Amino acid sequence: MITVIQQNYLLKGSVFGARGDSCSCNPCDCNPCKCADGVNGGTGPNYPFWRVNGYYIEAGTIQDLDVSKLTIMSMTQPVYANNNELWQEVFLIDARATTEQSTALLSIFEHHLDSVPAEVAPLPHTQRAIYKAQLAYLPAEKGNPTFHAIFTPAQTSLLRAASDPEAYQARSWSYDGPMALRNTFVFKK
């Protein structure tokens, strides 16, 4: 006999994203970016410097564990700066999250996180590395939310290594500015 544990959750929050681009949008969240064709003269893909996709939990619980005010996101960037041949995606979880909260957030959101830019060939479906990072999502009454992030792999907690033994160490990334609010959500089960 197999016992199945029913996962219960009630979550309310926001889906956000952006891409680091030379586009005039602030922030740009196009995928692919069509508004920046003039920047590269239409000579090929307009690769971003990075792209993120994230979830901010305004209020909620997973299995009676409070995960309110926490953020989980994916971030994709070239393995080497200014080289678009090889890209890597990592998941970042708010550094304030406990191990239990991190596990709970991953159980709900891991399969929804995808920040690979459309200009980049699909990445292999392998287990992504997960790090804790300084993440602060600030909702806005009107307009775009503000987001502050500092991710330095050498100074950040690695929660789970990538399944690819040849995975590259993620590069440091920081951001301080607006994010595009894609949608709001209420997940209940």
Q: Residue ranges of the domains in the chain?
A: 9-188
Residues 31-58, mean pLDDT to the nearest whole number: 79
Per the prediction, the chain carries an average pLDDT of 89
**Predicted pLDDT of residue 38:** 46
Q: What is the pLDDT of residues 66-75, one digit of tens each?
A: 999 999 999 9
Rounded to 10 degrees, the C-alpha dihedral 7/9/14/16 comes to -10
pLDDT at 3 over 70: no
Average of per-residue pLDDT across 34-39:
59
Strands 83-94 and 130-138 come out as: parallel
Quote the pLDDT of residue 96.
97
Q: What is the pLDDT of residue 125?
A: 84
Residue 1 has pLDDT above 80, yes or no: no
Contacts of 19 (CB under 8 A, 6+ apart): 27, 28, 29, 30, 31, 33, 48, 49, 50, 51, 52, 117
- Does the pLDDT of residue 167 top 90, yes or no? no
Rounded Cα gap, residues 115 and 53, in angstroms: 5
Q: What is the pLDDT of residue 21?
A: 80
- pLDDT (average), residues 83-95: 95
Residues 189, 7: contact at Cβ < 8 Å?
yes
Residue 17 · residue 183 · CB < 8 Å:
no
Give residue-wise pLDDT tens across range 91-133: 999 999 999 999 999 999 999 999 999 999 888 888 999 999 9
Checking if the pLDDT of 146 tops 90, the result is yes
Determine the distance from the C-alpha atom of residue 91 to the mean position of all C-alpha atoms in its chain, rounded to a whole number.
Answer: 6
39-49 mean pLDDT: 71
pLDDT over 90, % of the chain: 67
